Structure formats: structure tokens, C-alpha cells
Structure 1
Amino acid sequence: MRLLITGASSYVGAKIYSDLKDKFEVVGTYNSYKVFDELIKLDITDRKQVMSAVEKIKPDYIIHIAANGHHKWCEEHKDEAKLVNVNSTRYFVEAANKISAKIIYMSSYVLLGHDTFYAKTKQESEESVKDTKAGYVILRPGHIVGYSQNTKNDRQFNRFLKNLVEGAPAVYNNHWRFQPAYLRNISEIIERVIEKNITNKIIPATCSEVKTRYDLAMDILSPFNIKVERDDNKEGFDLIIQDLKILDELNLPKYSYEEMICEIIKEIEKHFNLKTK
């Protein structure tokens, strides 16, 4: 089984690439920051490059992760955001249909209730993915945390690393509420989707519990004796709750919040040689 993973140097993509590369024949792409030496450079906004790469690699699955997920950037650069997030998805769907490949698309829970341009690009891309003739799966993760080989990108877990490794102040908001998602669980769901040949489904990849950034910081950083301060400023988005019953119906792996926290603490101990107090 051959997989093409776009955005394999991103925070999310690097972890998924690393988790799947020893289980399948995997080709990963990057644009500017190269996490793994074997990745190939691909401009996903260039239709000719996309068509050529897919035709050459001939994957059974295209796991399309590459996107720009910064809400502010998308609002300020709408034309570029549409190129990166929407047009590229159309190109991969077109390319997939030429070789009868399936697509697993990394969407986001934000399209369920956030009125941002980023959310609109995800909604439009989901509609494009549904045109994949061989079959598709759309993943909608919540607020993602967990270890990735990409520790550079400005993501929640990497901010925690700065608190742990660099001693950066740990001040986190306690207003915005969301369902957190465990990054490794997303890899496990993708693996099971491929093994079971699940198609034409929209799958939430998240925990059922509702938390804040302050909750995450307390539960992940406090065991390492990091003092966490609470910020009560009103920021973030309205709460969105995803129904997770499809995970049970399809027998897909899931984690409780407590299980996720335990696994993340183990990841920190393993990869950064840190010990809990």
C-alpha cells in the first residue's frame, strides 16, 4: 500500500508521516521546512506539479495535510489562503481521480461553527474532497496536542515545550473551551481507516471532554513542576461539540482526556529526557 502524505514537515504531518512510514510505503512532501531528508519538495499551489507528482508516485491513498491553518493570516491574505487551502485540494482530487486513488483529508472542527475565512476554506475543500471517485475520508480533529518531530511550528504542544525546555512563562487562557485531540490518535485512526478500507465518511478525531488551554497546561506542565498561571481574558471561539459515536460504530481508536494526558507525559519523558516530580 503506497501513501502520499502532503505537508509531511508540518506539526501534524511530521508525526503522521513518522508513525506510518514503517507500516506502509510512504512518500512525503514539504514546501520550505524539511524535517526528514527523504521528503520531496512540492508546491501544492502549482497544478502541474501536483498532477505530475501524483502520476509519478501513483499512491493508493493521498493523505492531504498541507494547508495554512493560521486564522489571522488567512483573513489578511484571502487570495493566497484560497490557493493554498482550497485550490490545492481540488488539484489533488483531480489527480486522484486520474489514477483511482483515495483521499484522506485533514479538515478541522472549526468549520462547524467558526465564521472565519480559514473555516470557509476548510468547508469548501471538504466539498471538493467528496468528488473523489475511489472514495474519501474527511478527518475533523479538535484542538491538537501531542509530540511531533516538528518542534518548530507555533502549535500548542510546542509552546508547552518552550515552558519545559526554555523556561518560558506558562500563562494560558482559561476562557476558550474546546475538545482536545491527541496527535498520535489521528495517526492511529488513519492506519485503521486504511486497513479496514473505510470510505466516504466524516470522522471526528478528538476527545469527548471539554477543556481550556489552561487545563491542558496544568495537566501537562504541572507534573514537571512548571508553575502555570491563568489568563481569564475572553478570547477564542464559541464551543463546538462533536458527536463521537461514529468512532465506536467503525471500531476506530479513541482516547479519553485522562488517557491522552498520560500518553503525552510519557512522550515528553521519552523525547526530552525530562522526569515528572
Structure 2
Amino acid sequence: MKVVVTGVKGQLGHDLEKQLTARNHQVFGIDRNELDITDEAKVQAYFDEVKPDAILHCAAFTNVDAAEEDKETAYNVNALGPKYLAQAANKVGAKMVYVSTDYVFDGTATEPYEVEHPTNPLGVYGETKFAGEEFLKQNLDRYFIVRTAWVFGINGNNFVKTMLRLAEDRNELGVVHDQVGSPTYTVDLARFIIDLVESEKYGVYHATNEGVCSWYDFAVEIFKQAGVDIKVNPLTSDQFPRPAARPNYSVLSKKKITEQGFTLLPDWHEALSAYLKELKG
């Protein structure tokens, strides 16, 4: 397949490009320097030229707090960008994967969110990502929406790298314990997304590593596996105020993955272990 990957310099885009190449697909990796996805004419011109079989759309405005201040940019990138890509995909006959987020939910659930659960974003980031989902559905029949959460990978910043960096000059840290979800290793997520795009099993999916933890639990396990001796104190979200509200409960049900005959992602403890090995190189 001829595949375009947007956001190729990000965590997920990097691993998608690597694994697609390993599976002998022809990859066109682009970031904002190669194509401004908020420019409708440029998007259409690019895809008319490349004529891919599939688009894996990873590019996004992901700074949750900054999105509250800059709603226009967040909307242009997270909503209009996917719209233009979906229109271009429809015109050239390509299928498309749109990577979405647990932030489309409000985090008030007490059991894992199913793919059809009503959405209710708490802030601009979630609102604009959900708008992108809707534009995709309106403009394309052959689509996959993959909602994920708590992503970490080799290429870019993430919670694991932040914890390890902070531990270099501290002997004590505070981490919130009242936000619960599932970490997601981009190597595992990329494998699932490629399995998906190689199929015709269209629709909405939830994909994270297996298992559930709080950010506090995640931090404790990071230090344990990395052999770092540091005291981690549990904080409430109120003790760590941020401009944008975070969902307290972000656990996503992966029932659809199993129902459609795909392989679940490994447990997050295993994923973290593999990632720490990758970081060491």
C-alpha cells in the first residue's frame, strides 16, 4: 500500500513510519513543514499528486492547556485538518485512520467507555478532536477512528521521560492519584493501527495497553522498573491545578478490538519495560 502518515515527527507517527516500512508499505511521512493540513487547497493538491491508498492521520494540536487559550488554532488543526484530509481521501479513493482521544469523554464513568458511549468533552482539546471525528464521518465512508490515551514513545515528550528527568535532581515528587486510565506505548499502538488499515473493518475503536492505573501508580512503576530511588507522594487534582480540566476516569473498553478479531495490546507493565529498554538504546 501507498500510505501517507501525518505528524511523522511525533511519537506515534515515528513508529508508524518505521513499522509500515518494515511491512513493505510505501510510506510518505509528512509534518507541518511539508504540508499545512489547515489549508484546504494545499491538502487536495498534495493528495491529487501522491494518490495514496491510505492516510494515517496522527498530526494534532495536543497541548491541552494551550488549546484553552488558542481555540482557533486548536479547531483549525484538530477539526478542519481532518475534514480536508477526509475530503481528499474520498476524492482519491483512500481509506483513513484518525487518531482521537479519551478526552472526548468527561471522565465521570465508573466502568470502561465503550466506543458508542455518549461523548461529553470537558475542554477545547476534546471538543476539537471530537469535531474532527464528526467531519471524518461526514466526508468519508472508509474510515477508522482510534481513540487512545496516555501515550508514550521514543520520539517526543511524554510522562515517562518527564518523570525520569525530574528524578535526576529531586529525591521526592508529587503525582496525581485521582486520575485513572491506561498508558499506551506507541510501538504497540502503531502495530494495531497498521493491522487495522490493512483490513476493511471500518468504524470506531478504542486502543490502549491492557491494565488500569493512576498517574501516581504509573510513576511508581516507572521508578521501580528504572531502578530509581525516589519518594512519590500522591496528590489530588485540586492540589495540582491546570488551565484545562482532565477526565478523572479515562479507561477505554477494547471490546471492539476482540470482536473484530484483532490482537489486544500487551499489558502496560510489559509495554513500559519494552520502552525503558528502547530508551537505553
TM-score (norm 2): 0.83
- Per the alignment, residue 16 of structure 2 pairs with 16
- Per the alignment, residue 59 of structure 2 pairs with 66
- Per the alignment, residue 183 of structure 1 pairs with 186
Q: After TM superposition, what 4+ stretches of structure 1 lie above 3 angstroms from structure 2?
A: 166-171
Q: Aligned pair 1:241/2:255, yes or no?
A: no
1:131 counterpart SS class: helix
CA–CA distance in structure 2, aligned partners of residues 105 and 196 of structure 1: 15
- Per the alignment, residue 31 of structure 2 pairs with 30
Pairing partner for 1:100 from 48, 73, 93? 93
1:138 counterpart SS class: strand
| Ranges in structure 1 where 5+ consecutive residues have no aligned partner | 33-40
- Per the alignment, residue 4 of structure 2 pairs with 4
Q: Is the 8 A contact 2:178 2:236 kept in 1?
A: yes
1:242 counterpart SS class: coil
1:189-216: CA deviations, max 9, x gaps? 11211222222x1000024532111211
- Per the alignment, residue 37 of structure 1 pairs with none
What is the aligned-residue identity percentage? 24
1:107 counterpart SS class: strand
Q: Is the 8 A contact 2:205 2:257 kept in 1?
A: yes
CA–CA distance in structure 1, aligned partners of residues 6 and 179 of structure 2: 30
Q: Aligned pair 1:255/2:255, yes or no?
A: no
- Per the alignment, residue 111 of structure 2 pairs with none
CA–CA distance in structure 2, aligned partners of residues 249 and 172 of structure 1: 36
Pairing partner for 1:264 from 245, 253, 272? 272
CA–CA distance in structure 1, aligned partners of residues 249 and 96 of structure 2: 29
- Per the alignment, residue 205 of structure 1 pairs with 207
1:241-275: CA deviations, max 9, x gaps? 32221111112222353xx32233233224415xx
TM-score (norm 1): 0.85
- Per the alignment, residue 173 of structure 1 pairs with 176
Q: CA deviation at 1:64?
A: 0.9
Q: CA deviation at 1:143?
A: 1.7
Q: Aligned pair 1:46/2:39, yes or no?
A: yes
CA–CA distance in structure 2, aligned partners of residues 253 and 82 of structure 1: 33
Q: Aligned pair 1:126/2:136, yes or no?
A: no
